[in-house]
């Protein structure tokens, strides 16, 4: 056999190898990413755990500092100020200093703030600690979502609902676990120390899988003020996140103040909300495929509005817990659908749309509860919750009108 004929026969073989190489490399790359997926899940779990640990502390802080509903609402505004000031620059900070150092600082600030909030009684100290908690959670929240977007893009399959399901699971563990520790007789400071230790341990496990860069550019994703369709999607997110914020910051107060529940069990309202939200998100992808994105938003908002009516109208604490559970089920998949819609916009790049929608949406979960406190002080907490129900009805109407591409 001549060298020429051997070379000619080798060409097809090399071509097959060349064609097969990208698939093999993709398989190898996918096999190398379980650590990244695990780290992303742990980051979502950490944020849910930290957020929910604050929920049982709210009524304790209110009583310790002697605050009425209006002053508590103003204090809660500090949480929103800290987060909203941090979220737009989180990507730029990660681009300049690296994702892992910024996340490490965020975890440290979050843990320190929770410990201070578990013991402090002075209003200036509480305001500073709550601002710090907002800064830490704001950094964590933005960077975990950027990591999730990058991991999902690399995996080339939908993963966002599952990640958000881990956040909800963290909320369950944080609220129910914290309440259980208090029921066992631990002081708020000791229970909070247990939460902070769990957060630190989870972060250390996640650290090797955290991506060194979570944005396409060295400076992180750009931030744009919401306008046009981004503004429309962001406003819907604002209302849904406000509903979540009302459950986080006010469910414990409502159960104690209006339903006479023992403070040690005040976290059960948010735990019920988080339980159904977790179940809804873990099954969300299949549900969206079955009934469609628009129906998810419309039916979910209607269910959540009706559930808030149940929680406030029936003067029995089991009915209130059921109401919060149904609110969680209704809200579960609205935000993932809206984030998907923002990422699919043709007129605005996802790298601009997602940070804008995130910031506007989290204005609801962070700043909205302060408005609820002021409204509750002027009227009542029941009427404040009914106002949230009215906003959810507006979400259903807006989504059903068909002007937004979902």
Give CA–CA dist 47/42, Å, rounded. 9
Give CA–CA dist 75/366, Å, rounded. 11
CA distance readout (Å), 329 to 158, 171, 210, 302, 348: 21, 14, 31, 11, 31
pLDDT of residue 56: 82
CATH number at residue 320: 1.20.1250.20
| pLDDT above 80 (res 285) | no
pLDDT of residue 26: 45
First vs last C-alpha separation in the chain? 64
20 belongs to a structural domain = no
Query: Total domain count for the chain?
Result: 1
- DSSP-assigned letter for residue 32: T
Angle between helices 123-155 and 34-65 (to 10 degrees): 160
pLDDT tens for each residue of 374-404: 898 899 889 999 999 999 999 999 999 888 8
Q: Which helix (H) or strand (E) holds 142?
A: helix 123-155
The SS3 of residue 371 is helix
80 belongs to a structural domain = yes
Q: Give pTM, 2 decimals.
A: 0.73
Overall residue count recorded for the chain in this entry:
406
pLDDT tens for each residue of 346-355: 787 666 777 7
pLDDT tens for each residue of 291-304: 988 999 999 999 99
19 belongs to a structural domain = no
65 belongs to a structural domain = yes
222 belongs to a structural domain = yes
16 belongs to a structural domain = no
Q: Which helix (H) or strand (E) holds 17?
A: helix 3-31
305 belongs to a structural domain = yes
- 348, with CB counted inside 10 A (0-12, 13-18, 19+), is buried
Question: Which residue range forms the structural domain that includes residue 395?
Answer: 35-209+218-401
């Amino acid at each position: 056999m001549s060298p020429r004929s051997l070379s000619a026969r080798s060409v097809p073989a090399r071509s097959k190898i060349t064609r097969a190489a990208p698939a093999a490399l993709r398989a190898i790359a996918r096999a190398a990413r379980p650590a990244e997926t695990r780290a992303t899940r742990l980051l979502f779990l950490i944020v849910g755990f930290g957020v929910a640990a604050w929920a049982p502390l709210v009524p304790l802080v209110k009583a310790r500092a002697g605050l009425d509903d209006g002053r508590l609402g103003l204090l809660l505004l500090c949480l929103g100020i800290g987060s909203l000031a941090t979220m737009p620059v989180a990507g730029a900070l990660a681009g300049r200093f690296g994702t892992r150092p910024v996340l490490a600082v965020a975890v440290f600030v979050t843990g320190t703030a929770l410990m201070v909030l578990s013991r402090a009684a002075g209003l200036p100290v509480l305001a500073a600690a709550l601002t710090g908690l907002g800064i830490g959670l704001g950094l964590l929240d933005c960077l975990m979502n950027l990591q999730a977007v990058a991991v999902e893009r690399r995996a080339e399959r939908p993963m966002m609902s599952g990640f958000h399901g881990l956040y909800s699971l963290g909320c369950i563990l944080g609220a129910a676990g914290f309440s259980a520790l208090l029921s066992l007789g631990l002081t708020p400071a000791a229970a909070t120390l247990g939460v902070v230790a769990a957060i630190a341990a989870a972060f250390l496990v996640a650290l090797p899988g955290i991506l060194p860069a979570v944005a396409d550019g060295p400076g992180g994703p750009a931030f744009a003020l919401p306008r046009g369709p981004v503004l429309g999607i962001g406003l819907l997110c604002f209302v849904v996140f406000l509903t979540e914020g009302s459950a986080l910051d006010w469910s414990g107060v409502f159960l104690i103040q209006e339903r006479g529940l023992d403070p040690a069990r005040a976290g059960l309202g948010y735990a019920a909300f988080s339980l159904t939200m977790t179940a809804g998100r873990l099954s969300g992808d299949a549900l969206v495929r079955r009934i469609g994105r628009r129906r998810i938003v419309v039916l979910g908002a209607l269910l959540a509005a009706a559930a808030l009516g149940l929680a406030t109208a029936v003067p029995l604490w089991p009915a209130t817990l059921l109401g919060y559970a149904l609110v969680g089920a209704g809200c579960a998949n609205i935000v993932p659908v809206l984030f998907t819609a923002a990422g699919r916009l043709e007129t605005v790049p996802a790298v601009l749309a997602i940070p804008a929608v995130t910031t506007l949406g989290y204005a609801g979960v962070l700043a909205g509860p302060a408005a609820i406190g002021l409204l509750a002080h002027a009227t009542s907490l029941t009427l404040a919750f009914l106002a949230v129900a009215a906003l959810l009805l507006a979400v259903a109407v807006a989504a059903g009108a068909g002007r937004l591409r979902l």
